[in-house]
Amino acid sequence: MITVECGDVEAIMHELAVYVADQLGAIPAMQLHKFALSPLDDSDALDMAEAVTVIKEYLDSIGEARGLSVIARANTITIHSLTGKPLEGRAAPRDHMFACPHCGFVTKYEVEYNIHKRIHYL
């Protein structure tokens, strides 16, 4: 299990958890200022280096990689603001995204989302 502490990036914590869990094939568990990632199968282990890479990839995709540091120690990844100022909310991308409540699948197309939802009810 990997814990990702998001004290300085709470505004994007949920989107980050969904993205990282999807890329790693893990199950996210949300907490107040952090989230935990567990492998889908108990016999598997999550790769810490890959998790750090995926987090940096996400931060880069939203244009916030330069102002944040990602530090890994033991089974904990901490995301710190280099300016000391927490990341502000990002409401614009959220308006056009659809997330499956069952598995966390995310898409910007409503038609694709509706088709995806049907697979859970077959």
Tens of pLDDT along 3-42?
999 988 888 889 999 999 988 989 999 988 899 999 888 7
Residue 77 carries which DSSP code? E
Model confidence, pTM: 0.69
75: its two tokens: 């089974």
CA 107 to chain centre: 14
pLDDT > 70? residue 96: no
Please state, for a pLDDT cut of 90, what percent of the chain lies above it.
Answer: 32
pLDDT > 80? residue 48: yes
Give the helix/strand (H/E) hosting 70. Answer: strand 68-73
Give the helix/strand (H/E) hosting 72. Answer: strand 68-73
Report the distance separating Cα 73 and Cα 106, nearest Å. 29
What's the confidence (pLDDT) of residue 114? 86
Calculate the average pLDDT of the chain: 85
Angle at which helices 48-61 and 13-24 pack, to 10 degrees?
130
